[in-house]
Amino acid sequence: LKIEKVHLNALILDTLSRYSNAIQSKKIYVSTEFSKEYYVNSDSYLLSIIINNLVANALKYSNEKATLTIIITDTDNKLECHIIDSGIGIPSEDLSKVFNQFYRSKSNEHPEIKGTGLGLSIVRRLCTLLNIEIAISSEEQIGTKVILSFH
């Protein structure tokens, strides 16, 4: 671990720029809501792996012209990052399993969407390592929201 002061706004914008091709080809409407500059004490490389995986999922499990919204808030001095998509969503009975290794929801329904089912299991381990709480909520056909809470 290399803990340092990480500029969260910049890390998110950098991640989004890496996915600009996918964003453009799928015509995803991306918006960010950062009301100020936010910093966290964290490992910037490991944190970027977390954000990368979550952005990749948001884009991969969305149809054309979906929205991707990333918000940073610090209400009550609790820093949170919200990653919200308007994609295909996850059935409620699958939500508790998405962090398991190799688990993929709706893979029969969407055989065209490829993946190994490892991304979120890695994300969960990295969150534990970095003392980040992760919560996921979703509604089918509406979208998915992931909340990272920094401690």
Partner from ligand ATP, Mg ion, none binding residue 69, C-beta < 5-8 Å depending on class:
none
Tokens encoding 111: 């055989």
86 binds, among Mg ion, ligand ATP, none (CB under 5 to 8 A by kind): none
Binding site for ligand ATP (CB under 6 A): 53, 57-58, 61, 85, 87-90, 98, 103-106, 115-121, 144
Mapped onto helix, strand or coil, the DSSP state of residue 37 is coil
| Distance between CA atoms of residues 151 and 130, nearest Å | 9
Q: Is 57 in the site for Mg ion (CB under 5 A)?
A: yes
Bridge partners, 145 (sequence order): 84, 137
Give the residue with the Cβ less far from ligand ATP, 76 or 93. 93
Q: Which of 119, 143, 144, 150 forms a contact with Mg ion (CB under 5 A)?
A: 119
Of the pair 32, 41, the CB lying nearest ligand ATP is at 32
- Token readout for 139 is 């509604």
How far apart are the C-alpha atoms of 116 and 60, rounded to whole Å? Answer: 13
Residue type, 111: P
Positions that interact with Mg ion (CB under 5 A): 57, 119
